[in-house]
A = this chain, B = another copy of it.
Amino acid sequence: MSVRAGIVVTGTEVLTGRVSDRNGPWLSDQLLELGVDVIAIAVVGDRPEDILTALRFLASEGVALVVTSGGLGPTADDLTAAVVGRFQGREMVLDEALEGRIREILRPLMSRWPDLDPEAVLVSNRKQAVIPEGAEILEPVGTAPGLVVAPADGVDGPTVVVLPGPPRELQPMWRTALAESPALRAALRDAVEYRRSMLRLFGIPESEIAATLRAAAQAGIELEPLEITTCLRRGEVEVVVRYEPGDADIYEELAAFVRDRHAGTLFSDDGTTVDEQVFALLSRARETIAVAESCTGGLLAARLTERAGASEILRGGLVVYSDEAKIALAGVDPALIAAHGAVSEEVAVALADGARRQLEADVGVGVTGIAGPGGGSDEKPVGLVWLSVSHRDGRRLTRSVTLPGARADVRDRSTTVAMHLVRRLLLSGSG
């Protein structure tokens, strides 16, 4: 039997969407990797009764482990440690050694804010050293310590790992807990090993994958032991399959079936993203890329610089949102804009060539479209985007798409289409 766990994300700012939660999904993914079955992420506000309710709900489902994030800060609405202490039947006590260590952490930070009242800061942060009696302490990465709190003697229920909200604190502290906490290790003792594999496709609707899975079953592939989920993500269809190591053969059968049926649209069966593939293709060929973008306004360049080392492949980018910038920066002929409009095949081509030439790159990308909400017409509706990719050697791919959704969706999706066009152009040269 597999180990089950739940996650409680606290914070009124997360519950109401002013901050988007990255911790729940990250922890869930980490637990899945460990073979733990996550039954739910409960996002609750800062009210102690709601945090307690979430803990009780998960406990009533029989989970062996609960991980919480958030509510360890210095303000009065940061209450997670106290609620978990109560839930586990443990008194709250001031740990003076911990208080001293937090004071040492605060000292250099306070020098950055010379106007602060130092006493107020120390009072605010003393509260972070009040912990459930007998809890294991995870040393602070920021200023807040984490906790691993087993139930008190005579209390039945899950072990609770209490982590701070900022991801850059939570992530290393979770790893420390895994490596060092006896209570966490005890809770995870019975976890079963799982594997996860992923197939990524671009250019087909999700319903087609549903049909393929039915066809695979009809063709005699025994899908039952595989846990298959499909989803649309940034314009791509992802098929994620989770299985025990003994069922790897079945997964391979399914992967071969999908590969065969979707040869033109399956672009990744090894977990790589299109971004990684474009990076690798350019690196391997020692080629560089440059972009000129209108509707995406810098998002494509930002995507190409997401990983370190981008200067190896990216010569630079031109954000040419206005017609003047298209002409001045990318060298687009004003007559082309006048004749065909800024959102046109001709201008996309001129942007790709302009970026490539102005920046002396091997590959140029041009993107021009109508991201909305205004600016659309019958002939050129909101969502229409023209993209062109051109290579120094004369190869070129140009296409238009009409993307659904709001302005942010159209902009984001356009960068995905651009990445796939670049990939196809680069592969067409290596074949």
A interface list, Cβ under 8 A from B: 11-22, 24-26, 28-29, 32, 38-46, 50, 53-54, 57, 60-61, 73-77, 109, 113, 116-117, 120-121, 123-125, 166-168, 204-211, 213-214, 227-233, 238, 240, 291, 293, 296-308, 310-311, 314-322, 324-325, 328-329, 358-360, 371-375, 404-409, 411
Contacts of A116 in B (CB 8 A): 205, 208
Name A311's closest neighbour in chain B (CB-CB): B322
Contacts of A319 in B (CB 8 A): 291, 298, 301, 305, 314, 316-319
Q: Is the CB of A407 within 8 A of B308?
A: yes
Q: Is the CB of B39 within 8 A of A404?
A: no
Contacts of A305 in B (CB 8 A): 297-298, 319, 321
Q: Is the CB of B359 within 8 A of A328?
A: yes
Q: Is the CB of B321 within 8 A of A318?
A: no
Contacts of A213 in B (CB 8 A): 75-76
How many copies are assembled? Answer: 2
Q: Is the CB of B316 within 8 A of A320?
A: yes
> What are 16 sample pairs from A and B whose C-beta atoms fall under 8 A apart?
A11-B231, A18-B240, A21-B21, A40-B50, A41-B44, A43-B43, A73-B207, A74-B207, A77-B228, A120-B211, A121-B211, A301-B301, A305-B321, A308-B371, A317-B317, A324-B360
Cα(A315)–Cα(B321), bound, Å: 7
**Provided the pairs A43-B41, A44-B39 are in contact, do residues A124 and B211 lie with their beta carbons within 8 angstroms?**
yes
Q: Is the CB of A168 within 8 A of B328?
A: no
Which among B75, B210, B307, B371 is the interface contact of A207 at CB below 8 angstroms?
B75
Contacts of A40 in B (CB 8 A): 15, 42-44, 50, 53-54
Cα(A65)–Cα(B399), bound, Å: 46
Cα(A409)–Cα(B168), bound, Å: 9
CB distance from A36 to the nearest CB of B (A): 12
Contacts of A125 in B (CB 8 A): 207
**Provided the pairs A18-B238, A322-B311 are in contact, do residues A207 and B317 lie with their beta carbons within 8 angstroms?**
no
Contacts of A50 in B (CB 8 A): 39-40
CB distance from A47 to the nearest CB of B (A): 8
Cα(A298)–Cα(B319), bound, Å: 8
Q: Is the CB of A214 within 8 A of B22?
A: no
Q: Is the CB of A314 within 8 A of B308?
A: no
Cα(A54)–Cα(B22), bound, Å: 21
Q: Is the CB of A43 within 8 A of B18?
A: no
Q: Is the CB of A306 within 8 A of B18?
A: no
Contacts of A74 in B (CB 8 A): 206-207, 210
CB distance from A89 to the nearest CB of B (A): 22
Q: Is the CB of A15 within 8 A of B25?
A: yes
Q: Is the CB of B318 within 8 A of A317?
A: yes
Beyond A121-B207, A291-B319, A297-B298: 13 further Cβ-contacts under 8 Å? A11-B229, A16-B28, A16-B38, A17-B24, A18-B25, A45-B229, A76-B210, A109-B205, A121-B208, A166-B232, A307-B407, A317-B317, A318-B329
Contacts of A303 in B (CB 8 A): 298
Q: Is the CB of A214 within 8 A of B120?
A: yes
Which among B15, B19, B124 is the interface contact of A28 at CB below 8 angstroms?
B15
For A57, A76, A207, A303, the residue with the greatest tally of chain B CB atoms inside 10 Å of its CB is A207
